[in-house]
Amino acid sequence: MLRKETFLRLRDYIYEKTGIYFHESKMYLMENRLQNRLRELGLSSFEDYYLYLKLGNENAKKELLNLYDVITTNETSFFRNPQQFDALREIIVKEYLKNGKGPSFGLRIWSAACSTGEEPYTIAIVLLEIQERTKVDLPFSILATDLSPKVLESAKRGVYSEYSLRNVNGALREKYFTLTEEKNYKLKEEVKKYVRFEFMNLMDLEAYKAFRNMDIIFCRNVLIYFDERAKRRVLENLFKCLKPGGFLILGYSETLNQQRFGFRPILFPGTLIYQKGWENEKGNDS
């Protein structure tokens, strides 16, 4: 049984490492999610598990990655919240395909908290479809990151169930996927080659330095797991990672005070997108 005192210690430890905050009403959820880890490690109590994480050796560092897998939620699908991808199409055409030409510098997009890869692969499909429809060369690259090594490995494989493709029409399935003998869908290499997957903890402030000069950042359904302090730290760093004029796409239930963070909201049909201002950024790169 998970005692409240131990829950609070584990909760604070998880928050310190990941920014994910478990309210006391979620104590049962943490208990259920960690039961298998205790059995796997041969530990008899949650108190022992906490001490193992806090005071353990190199094996404890590896266990921290297992902890990330257990506590994160990875519910996603291709073209999830389609209005946001409609907005992406409009942004690409209006902002980056000017005068019938694509950007010579190459478009840089970051899918933060990419889970099993459906989001960044959807972005790639959208961009490939725009290229085909407009007949304009649109060089782009997509960086996809997540806290969970397990879901990153799954994303790299690029094999998905019917359920993950429930919002993908038959024409796109035929074009970009191959049906396997197991009745799953394997993404074709022509899409996969545009996406690079890396481990990243959004609470690791040093890690953001590798993700600067982004044109568009997707960070959907992540901030809902953070408290206000952690949310503020993440948003401030996402702001720094965007080029002036770049776009931030959050989840439907996630909003921000644009004055505080330097973004201006742009209303698209069915969704709200945030754009970084073009003002001088002096003093914002600390």
Is the same domain home to 89 and 146?
yes
Is the pLDDT confidence value at 240 over 90? yes
Q: Are 93 and 144 in contact (CB under 8 A)?
A: no
Q: What are 42-51's pLDDT values in tens digits?
A: 999 999 999 9
Its sign, for the CA torsion 71, 76, 82, 88, is: positive
Residues 217 and 143: their CA atoms lie apart, in Å, by 10
Q: Answer whether residue 231 is part of any domain.
A: yes
Mean pLDDT over each residue of the chain, to the nearest integer = 89
Residues 110 and 145: their CA atoms lie apart, in Å, by 8
Question: Global pTM?
Answer: 0.86
Question: Facing residues of 177 across strands?
Answer: 187
Is the pLDDT confidence value at 280 over 60? no
Q: What are 170-202's pLDDT values in tens digits?
A: 999 999 999 999 999 999 999 999 999 999 999
- What is the pLDDT at residue 163? 93
User: Tokens 């080659």 identify what position?
Assistant: 193
Question: Facing residues of 197 across strands?
Answer: 144
- What is the pLDDT at residue 282? 45
Q: Answer whether residue 283 is part of any domain.
A: no
For the ranges 16-25, 38-47, 60-69, the maximum mean pLDDT occurs at 38-47
Is the pLDDT confidence value at 63 over 80? yes
Q: Which of 203, 238, 229 is nearest to 68 (CA)?
A: 203
Q: Answer whether residue 76 is part of any domain.
A: no
- What is the pLDDT at residue 258? 52
- What is the pLDDT at residue 257? 64
Domain count, the chain: 2
Q: Are 218 and 112 in contact (CB under 8 A)?
A: yes
Element (H, E) at 120: helix 118-134
Q: Answer whether residue 286 is part of any domain.
A: no
Is the pLDDT confidence value at 130 over 90? yes
Q: Which of 31, 44, 37, 39 is nearest to 60 (CA)?
A: 37
One-letter amino acid for residue 60 of the chain: A
- What is the pLDDT at residue 171? 96
In what order do the strands lie in the sheet containing 185-187? 159-160, 185-187, 177-179
In angstroms, the first-to-last Cα distance of the chain is: 44
Residues 231 and 267: their CA atoms lie apart, in Å, by 22
Q: What are 203-231's pLDDT values in tens digits?
A: 999 999 999 999 999 999 888 888 888 89
Q: Which domain holds residue 40?
A: 4-71
Is the same domain home to 117 and 56?
no
Is the pLDDT confidence value at 271 over 50? yes
Instruction: State the average pLDDT over residues 250-271.
Output: 81
Is the same domain home to 10 and 117?
no
Is the same domain home to 108 and 167?
yes
Is the pLDDT confidence value at 60 over 60? yes
Confidence of residue 1 (pLDDT cuts 50, 70, 90): confident
Is the pLDDT confidence value at 143 over 90? yes
Q: Which of 66, 156, 58 is nearest to 115 (CA)?
A: 156
User: Tokens 């039961």 identify what position?
Assistant: 35
| Domain boundary, last residue among 45, 71, 97 | 71
Q: Which of 32-41, 51-60, 106-115, 129-138 has the lowest mean pLDDT?
A: 51-60
Neighbours of 29 (CB within 10 A): 12
